[in-house]
Amino acid sequence: MSETAGQQHPIGIYLKIWVLLFVLSTFSYLVDFFHLQGYLRWSLILIFMFLKAGFIVAIFMHVAWERLALKYVLFVPLSAIVVLITLMAIEGDYTFLTREIFFDP
């Protein structure tokens, strides 16, 4: 026997999340199916993506029930990724502009 009890939750919650993930995936597929464009498309994609990711991490991976010490270990380092994304977005934009100026399409 391990000394610490594992994560045990009713099966029902997994089934509910499963259905929810199905619905959310269908919605994100429909975004493409109905050819939504522009900011509406991007914001819907992001909303459905973060909802799905949140439910998988919180319920399926049991992070919602873990102690704060572990949550911080998992989420604080991700701020470095946010910084990287920001910097690379700026850099990508800059490269695009210089290419537009110096290369003839």
Partner 1 sequence: MTIETDKNSSYAEPGIDGMVADWSADKQNFDLPWGKLMMWIFLLSDTFIFSVFLTGYMNVRLSQTDNWPNASEVFALEIGGVHLPLILIAIMTFALITSSGTMAMAVNYAYNRDKRKTVILMAITALLGASFVGMQVFEWSKLISEGVRPWGNPFGAAQFGSTFFMITGFHGLHVTAGVIYLTVIARRVGRGYYEDKGYAIVEITGLYWHFVDLVWVFIFAFFYLW
Angle between helices 11-33 and 38-55 (to 10 degrees): 160
- Least separation in angstroms between residue 72's CB and partner 1 is 7
Cβ–Cβ < 8 Å for 17, 58? no
Residues that bind partner 1 (CB under 8 A): 1-2, 4, 6-9, 11, 14-15, 17-18, 21-22, 25, 28-29, 31-33, 35, 41-42, 45-46, 48-49, 52-53, 56-57, 59-62, 65, 67-70, 72-74, 77-78, 80-81, 84-85, 88-89, 91-93, 95-96, 99-100, 103, 105
- ∠ CA 97-100-104 to the nearest 5 degrees? 165
